Structures are given as structure tokens and as C-alpha cells.
Homo-oligomer: A and B are copies of this chain.
Amino acid sequence: MKKPLRLSIILFDGFTALDIVGGYEVLANVPGIEVEFLAATPGLVNADTRRLALLGYRSFEQTLATDILYVPGGPGVFKGVNDQALISTIARLHESNTWTLGICNGVELLGAAGALQGKQVTTNWFARERVAAYGAQVMPKRYVRDGKLITGAGVSASIDAGLYLASLIAGEELAKTIQLGIEYYPDPPFGSGTPDTASAGAQAMVRMFEESAAERIEELKTPY
């Protein structure tokens, strides 16, 4: 039997759940991949809504190295880029792994970890300037590969980027099988997923929401 591949998903306070679960649902179904959730301290970590919590059951220190590093985004990134434990863990696991997957504004965390200099990447549309400031060339694409670094656009792009990474790891036929397993023939009721297609009002509202997100989630209380 082939050695299993370790997929380490990084949790931090204020992550966005779909940034994680889109790619997780694809990659956890690749035979031989073993998923683990890492947190600064093992225990529950709260999503940006303060209504959903995921369990991180290994500490950052417990995982000395990994095969696949998965860095999600969310409003918590605003604080996260200055969190030394988080950033040094990302830098350390990125150094010796085979693949790194960054989603949404989680790509900024990779920048703070020194992983973006001279790299071609994508990110959430409102994080493009901040990611470019880390020396990356930001492409307005759904997912981008540069060597071992795979990056995805905002939130729901974790599914597409996950399928792409699954095909690189296990082949196109297996990735297509997983796509059927999660019945992914997306068909949104509206076409409004990009700044180019959304109304000016929707763009302004999302920008305002995102810019205030870090402060807003500080005020939200969990019901648990």
C-alpha cells in the first residue's frame, strides 16, 4: 500500500467555513489522503459567523511536516497576518511539503509567511491589492498553479481549486469521479459571482461588508 498523504487544514479564529469545506469535501475523497485539522490549541475554532465551529484536534506544533498544506481565508485573516504562531506554522509546513493550497484571502497568510515572492496566484477579488503587495502576480482566475502552489479565488472557488489539485495528485479520472460524487454541475439561479457581472450596488455592499468584517466579528457572540 502506498504511504498515505497527509492533508493539514489550518484553522484560525474567524475563518470562512466554505473556504475550507469546498476543498475538504473533494480532497478527503481522494483515496490515500488523510485529513487533519490543526489549531493553535486543540479544541473548537469559531467561524466568522460565530454560529459554526470546527474541531481542530492537533496543535500547530504536533504536525512537524505535511504533504498538503491547506490555508483558508475569512475575516480572521486581518488579524492572522500578524499572528506569529499561525504564520510561522504556515511557513514551516510550506517549506517541505508537496502541495500548498491557498483559498480566498487566505492567500495573504501565505504572503505573510514569505511564500508568494515572484509567484503567480489568484485570490478573492477584494484582496488582490493586498496579495500583490507580497510580491505576487495576481491573476483574475478561478484557480492558478505555480509549481507546488495552488491558489483559488474567493470562498466557493475552493471546490474548483480542490478538484484541480485532486487531478494533479490522483489523475483526471479520479477527480471526475469525485465531481460526480459531490454532484458538482453548478447551476446558480443568478449570474452575479464576479465584480464584472454583479451590480455596482452589490459590489459596494460586499466591499463595505468585507472592510468592516474584522471588527464586526469581534462583536459577535457565540451561542455556545
Contacts and interface: CB of A to CB of B under 8 A. Distances in A.
Interface class of chain A by DSSP: mixed
**Most B-side CB within 10 Å, residue of A177, A197, A198, A209:** A177
Contacts of A16: 25
Interface magnitude class on chain A: 35 or more
A40 interface: no
Contact of A224 (B22, B57, B159): B57
> Quick one: copies of this chain in the complex?
2
* Nearest 9 pairs of A and B residues by beta carbon: A154-B183, A185-B193, A186-B186, A57-B224, A176-B192, A21-B21, A18-B25, A155-B182, A35-B51
Interface of A: 16-18, 20-22, 24-25, 28, 34-37, 42, 44, 49, 51-55, 57-58, 104, 124-125, 142-143, 153-157, 159-160, 163-164, 167, 172-173, 175-177, 179-195, 197-199, 201-203, 205-206, 209-210, 223-224
